[in-house]
Structure 1
Amino acid sequence: MPMARALLSICVFCGARAGHNPAHTSAAQAMGAAIAAQGWRLVYGAGDVGLMGEVARSAQSAGAPTFGVIPTHLMSAERGKRDLSQLVITEDMHERKKVMFMNSDAIVVLPGGAGSLDEFFEVLTWAQIGLHRKPIFLLNSEGYWNPLIALLDHIIAEGFADASVKSYFTAAPDVATLTEALRSALS
């Protein structure tokens, strides 16, 4: 009897706001649908607002299991989504990130603000110092992350990081490209 394949989980970090460009909302919806189409589980911040809500509703409506993690103090502000496959309520943001990371096989960062940057840099730093080997992807929808990539180039040029720092993540211009790269990384 063949062994059952383990369910792969994709952690999505993204904005609790939708931003001004509707292309980012469309990308979040497409990401949720792609996670479901691949038979993966969505791990995310459990909010029902902004890009977070879009990716979750899209994944759910396409049949993906959903694992949400939210700190107590954000249940109201981010309208904690209670109809998930699994909901974990943490004491603080640090625990939220840790639980999300520990329950995922790969990380995808969609457009977002300071929180998304914090999440990206934490998992990037952990990879850089050898704490994990999980693939990290930036969904560079409409070139959103180009300034971040330029900042990393500047950090390298100024001698504060080796060029290898950019080898710990992959930027993809659209969901189709990112999904294919994720499939390769996880096979």
Structure 2
Amino acid sequence: MAGRERQAFIVGVRVWRARRKAEEASFGSEKDVRAAYTEYGGELLGFAHSALGDHQLAEEVVQEVFLRAWRASSSFDSSRGSMRTWLYAIARNAVVDARRRRAVRPPAAPAEDAGREKADADVDPYDQLLARIELREALDRLRREHREVVVEVYFLGRSCADVAGELGIPASSVRSRLYHGIRALRGILDENGWLAP
């Protein structure tokens, strides 16, 4: 073989061995899960995004896939199929579940949006200023890590994955902080009588 062909062959063998090792692995440890995620996470994200058309929801699906795989690790049998095939089967089920959850939440009707825009136009600017001040006070009462995530995701429209990358924590932690932060914020606003009945 020529030099380039030999080098390409060696790289191909290494890739084949790494993939084979990943396929024969199990989810016995956190290290195994990380290896499987490194090997298949990107393509599963692409699969979920293609199926759902929503990047953030696709990220949640991939996390759900690996959580389900971890919980059902004893059911994986490499003699019946590869880990990739097994993970894709779990992903298909997770995508179907995500579609069902999304279908349950009705989208906002255009008429409601038009009515909301008209209502916003009728709001007194002093009332808007007061609402902002009240919201700022409520945000200041949140724990720092909750406030940071609520502002970044809810008010600035950033994705949980972006915020997670910036903070160096998992996206699931960002979603958890967002959930608890919004819940605490609603409680503070309600406690002060700032939420509409």
Q: TM-score, structure 2 length as denominator?
A: 0.23
More helix by share: 2
More strand by share: 1
More relative contact order in 1 or in 2 (CA 8 Å, sep 6+)? 1
Q: TM-score, structure 1 length as denominator?
A: 0.23
